[in-house]
């Protein structure tokens, strides 16, 4: 069974991956193992992940409240 990874842990991991890519991708491009366009695209995809996680973190209270409201409404329907 896998353990739950916190949102902050996910954000930290993505930040680390972006740092690694900033180091590794230019070398891969220079060595001819990767085209610059692919490096740029893959980096931008990971930046999008970082932006999504950041958005979730900034809106976490609102998301949690909305999920709780839906769960309460569903429980009320089931008990009616």
Number of compact structural domains in the chain? 1
Instruction: For residue 36, give the nearest of 19, 18, 21 by alpha carbon.
Output: 21
Name the pTM for this structure: 0.83
Q: What is the pLDDT of residues 27-64, one digit of tens each?
A: 999 999 999 999 999 999 999 999 999 999 999 999 99
Residue 73 belongs to a domain: yes
Residue 1 has pLDDT above 80, yes or no: no
> pLDDT tens digit string along 5-33?
999 999 999 999 999 999 999 999 999 99
Give the DSSP letter string of 24-43: HHHHHHHTTSS-HHHHHHHH
Domain span at 16: 7-79
Residue 2 placed within a domain: no
């Amino acid at each position: 069974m896998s353990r739950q990874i916190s949102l902050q842990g996910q954000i930290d991991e993505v930040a680390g991956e972006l740092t690694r890519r900033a180091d590794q991708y230019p070398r891969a491009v220079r060595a001819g193992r990767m085209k610059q366009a692919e490096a740029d695209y893959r980096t931008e995809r990971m930046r999008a992940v970082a932006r999504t996680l950041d958005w979730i973190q900034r809106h976490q209270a609102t998301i949690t409240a909305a999920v709780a409201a839906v769960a309460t409404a569903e429980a009320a329907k089931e008990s009616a």
